[in-house]
Amino acid sequence: MKALPLIIVTLTTGFTIGYFVNSILLSTEPAASTSQINSVSNIEANSYRDSPVVDQLSVDLDALDRRLQQEIVARKSLEEKLDNLSQQIASLERNKNDSHNIDNVPEENEEVVASTESDREWFNEQALVDSGMSDIQAAGLKSFFEQQELDRMYLRDQSIREGWDRQRYREEIQKLSEKADTFLSQLDDTSYDAYLYASGQPNRVRVTNVLDSSQAGSAGIQAGDHIISYDNKRIYSGFDLRSATTGGNINQTVAVEIERNGEIMELYLNRGPLGIRMNSVSIAPTP
């Protein structure tokens, strides 16, 4: 009987130890499971990042970004080139209507009128008189014209002698042109028209073709007509006409004067392209 209490104590101690051991095991199993899950997740993530598919996608995105940047740069460059080209075209149009632009400065062997132009005087003073100008005014304009010609010849010789570059020569020619423009701006439309003709420069815009569905076609403008004025401004060249049609407000009604067989006609059109082809010509003005 003395052994019974000892057995009970032993069993009780065993159960107690077993309970605590089991509790410890139960509390540590979830932690181990979480650690294992995190470890597996990290392995999967690393494996995804290191996969060939992700690497290729990254390379493709980088290449696409570089291509987009190149396209942006190329587009800006193209816009600048187009803008410069537009300015150059406008400049060429202005120079085309100035018989004394740099490309038309007479060479040394061209100071005498070429044989192909022997039938036309260098400056037709009589044309000024025929237009109704006084002899004194006609002589004054001839003297001004000849001095301008001589100034350009001397300037050309000086540029060769001193080795000017093209830009320097252009600047000096431009100064002479501005001086001439200042003087000629004092003339009225009729006198300036006669001066252009007398000096062999364009003073009319001749219509060569008309689009039937255009404003000009609807208004009855025909090939062979001369555009005299647009919106009450005299037109002497194609450049003048293009400047007039692109100025002001689109679709604004403007007066357009044309000359046909010596008769002046006035039309009213919307501002904008006329729908014609044209060229600049030199026509003797009527008194």
Residue 199 in this model has a pLDDT that exceeds 80: yes
Q: What is the dihedral of CA 56, 58, 59, 62, to 10 degrees?
A: 160
pTM as predicted: 0.58
- Rounded to whole angstroms, the Cα distance separating 128 from 144 reads 14
- Rounded to whole angstroms, the Cα distance separating 83 from 74 reads 14
Can you name the residues that pair with 230 across neighbouring β-strands? 233, 256
Under the banding of pLDDT at 50, 70 and 90, the label for residue 76 is very low
Domains of the chain: 102-108+121-198 (no CATH), 204-281 (2.30.42.10)
pLDDT digits (tens, 9 = 90+) for 157-196: 999 999 999 999 999 999 999 999 999 999 999 999 999 9
Under the banding of pLDDT at 50, 70 and 90, the label for residue 109 is very low
Beta-carbon contacts of 227 under 8 Å, excluding residues fewer than 6 positions away, are: 204, 205, 207, 235, 241, 256, 257, 258, 278
The DSSP H or E segment spanning 226 is strand 226-230
Strand pairing class (253-260; 226-230): antiparallel
Residue 108, pLDDT score: 39
Residue 270, pLDDT score: 94
- Rounded to whole angstroms, the Cα distance separating 205 from 227 reads 5
Residue 11 in this model has a pLDDT that exceeds 50: no
DSSP annotation of 104 reads G
Could you tell me which residue, 49 or 169, shows the higher pLDDT?
A: 169
Q: Is residue 275 within 8 Å of residue 217, measured between CB atoms?
A: yes
DSSP annotation of 253 reads E
